[in-house]
Amino acid sequence: MSSPFALLSQRRFWPLFWTQFSVAFNDNVFKTGLVLMVTYGDRLFGEPITLFDMGAQELNPVSNLLLILPFVLFSAIAGQVSDKYSKTKVIRWVKAAEIGVMALAAIGFVIAGLGQPTTGAMLLFALIFFMGLQSAFFGPSKYSILPQLLPRQADLVAGNAWVEMGTYFSILGGIALATLLMELPHGPMWFAGAVIVTAILGWAVTRFLPDVPAENPELRVAKEPFTSSWQAARILFRDGDVARSVFGISWFWALGGAILVLFATYAYRVLYAEPIAYAILMGLFAVGIGAGSLVTERLSFGKMEIGLVPIGSFGLTLGLAGLALIGHPFAPPASGELYTLLELLSMPAWWLICGTVLVLSASGGFFMVPLYTLVQSRADPQERSRVIGANNIVNSFFILLVQGGLFGLAMLSVSEPITFGILAAINAVIAIYIYTQVPEFTLRFVAWVLSNLIHRLKVEGPENLPSEGAALLVCNHVSFVDFLIIMGACKRPLRFVMDREMSEIPVLSLLFHQAKIIPITSYKKNPQLVEQAMDRVSEALREGWMVMIFPEGGLTWDGEMMEFRSGVERILERDPVPVVPMALNGLWGSFFSRAGGPAMRKPFRRGIYNRIWLTVRPPIPPEGLTASALRDIVRGIWMERPQDP
């Protein structure tokens, strides 16, 4: 496995990484400066900042609403522009526009620094919309250019991990710089130079971006936002897996936005802390996201591993519930001043809060990286930017909904800890619904646990699995979890043909049903079921699926391979597709095998974390291939490890 830092030294990736870093960094210098001005206005300017009779608790959610409105209106058009033109050019245009927006922002900060904080804040709030507009056009290009720059899935997973990590570390840097500048004499004045310089440097980096061709130059860009949004939605819902992943991404962005908004008032109203506490909470959130993203890349083992998504959603619920249960850990300072950082460091509850935030944010990395990789991998290249644009629209609706809920809770004076608890409950309900309705996430999670925690799976020849198109995969049958082990090793989803009696085993039958297996039996027992199975296999192959079969027709009783049945010949006569021979070694004698008697009766037969192998050979043509010849091929692969049957 290559170093996770390798991409950062390569021209095909580092300019994009630092470009997106500069965008998020500058956005957060701007937003954090505005949030601190509004939240700590009485301390910074001697008077609180109110706009339209709204204070910090109401203005912070309103600022997020202004930020995402352009995503709702223009993301679909942005996706069309990114599909029609070179994404490199679009990114450069966006970064040039950022210089203009930040020049106006500098004027707003100068006005505030000259003693007119309310007037300056009013201008800055107006500019939030245009900052969001710039980001709405940057997002589709940023995510859809990645597959063009990084066509290998292993690189794409790593690239997404670095982008997510870079985004949140740039948030950390932006927050840290903004907090530092606000503490300086005439703090708002420093922001004027910071936002302009960062915008210019970010534009300069785009000059090093590799030029990529337009993927759909004949596309006509719609000028009306609602029509283009409807067209983008139709493209998105064409693929159910992509659409469900987009909903998952959108929920996380809404949830993350809510958490970041709550941190500002949580630090001030619940922890009674100076602005440095808010900066540290935001920084920990960024560090956790970055660490979780890189760990996800390592645990994905070079492929898109959506089995890690349930781990992420569980951690999100756990972290939010933890902040709710911690509640109000500190009494108001007796001195009437806010707690300093040194005072916080002496309190055990502060360390508990920091640890909880890290669990919460690291879980976000587990959640986001696989979902973004899935969307990029499975979307049609000619429509990829529009899918990302549609993703941004859905993101925006989720964020609007959640920010509106935050605003309503703020008007009802609901405290931040209780709000964290409400978000934890909602996240748990959404997770339960998704994982009961969408089998692939649940199955991939079980497959990942089996392959990496219960066993140590080593796949030899994974490059021999076709990246696209129909194929028939054949393998020896050793245990009741063979299909899950093979599923965990494959980057693409599979359809399995399985003995009907095995598919009806209690508990396991739930997994088999979710996997949409194709049940089959012997022709003597039920000829009608056999014909139905053959029809379903043919249908799957003609739709471009990889279909997995165990030609022995049943589980081995003695560890030896049985004869292959003739059904494999019927499949290939009807649909002559390439055949990928595979062999499993190391599962005989496990809890899930029949070694020593019925399976799943004697736990820990061989301890835990045993090494198992899946060996994959190159596809072979189907012409003239018989069941007997195919058995000889698979047996030959299997016998390469006779000591590990």
Residues of the chain within CATH 3.40.1130.10 domain(s) are 448-638
Strands (E), 444-588: 455-460, 471-474, 494-499, 518-520, 546-549, 579-585
How far apart (Å, rounded) are the C-alpha atoms in residues 315 and 361? 8
> Cα dist. 341→40, 212, 345, 360 in Å?
16, 48, 6, 22
pLDDT at 2 over 60: no
Neighbours of 65 (CB within 10 A): 18
Token pair 């756990």 is found at 318
Most confident of 289-298, 497-506, 529-538: 529-538
The whole-number pLDDT of residue 291 equals 83
First to last CA, the chain: 27
User: Residue 170: which residues within 8 A CB-CB, separation 6 or more?
Assistant: 20, 21, 22, 23, 24, 25, 28, 286
pLDDT at 81 over 80: yes
Q: Which residues pair with 547 in a beta bridge?
A: 472, 495
Of the pLDDT bands very low, low, confident and very high (cuts 50, 70, 90), residue 184 is confident
Residues of the chain within CATH 1.20.1250.20 domain(s) are 10-437
Q: Tokens representing 625?
A: 């291939």
Range in 48-62, 151-165, 389-403, 625-639 the model is least confident about: 48-62
Strands (E), 359-488: 455-460, 471-474
Of the pLDDT bands very low, low, confident and very high (cuts 50, 70, 90), residue 578 is very high
Label each residue of 170-184 as H, E or C. HHHHHHHHHHHHHHC
The whole-number pLDDT of residue 630 equals 93
The whole-number pLDDT of residue 228 equals 67
Of the pLDDT bands very low, low, confident and very high (cuts 50, 70, 90), residue 506 is low
H or E element at residue 548: strand 546-549
In 3D space, the residue among 100, 386, 127 whose CA is nearest the CA of residue 242 turns out to be: 386
Q: What is the pLDDT of residues 382-434, one digit of tens each?
A: 777 777 777 777 877 888 788 788 888 888 888 889 999 999 999 898 888 77
pLDDT at 240 over 90: no
> Cα dist. 196→99, 104, 192, 365, 392 in Å?
6, 9, 7, 30, 26
In 3-state terms, what secondary structure has residue 562?
coil
pLDDT at 145 over 60: yes
Q: How high is the mean pLDDT of the chain?
A: 82
- Please give the angle made by the CA atoms of 335, 340 and 344, to the nearest 5 degrees: 105
The whole-number pLDDT of residue 61 equals 67
The whole-number pLDDT of residue 489 equals 81
User: Residue 387: which residues within 8 A CB-CB, separation 6 or more?
Assistant: 79, 144, 232, 235, 236, 242, 246, 375, 379, 380
The whole-number pLDDT of residue 308 equals 78
Token pair 């020849």 is found at 461
What CATH number belongs to 448-638? 3.40.1130.10
Q: Hey, which CATH number is domain 10-437, 3.40.50.740, 3.40.720.10, 1.20.1250.20, 3.40.50.300?
A: 1.20.1250.20
Token pair 């990529």 is found at 212
How far apart (Å, rounded) are the C-alpha atoms in residues 245 and 237? 11
Rg (CA), the chain: 28
Neighbours of 543 (CB within 10 A): 9
pLDDT at 225 over 70: no
pLDDT at 545 over 60: yes
Percentage above 90 pLDDT, the chain: 18
In 3D space, the residue among 234, 233, 242, 259 whose CA is nearest the CA of residue 394 turns out to be: 233
- Using the 8-state DSSP alphabet, how is residue 224 labeled? S
How far apart (Å, rounded) are the C-alpha atoms in residues 257 and 255? 5
The whole-number pLDDT of residue 174 equals 84
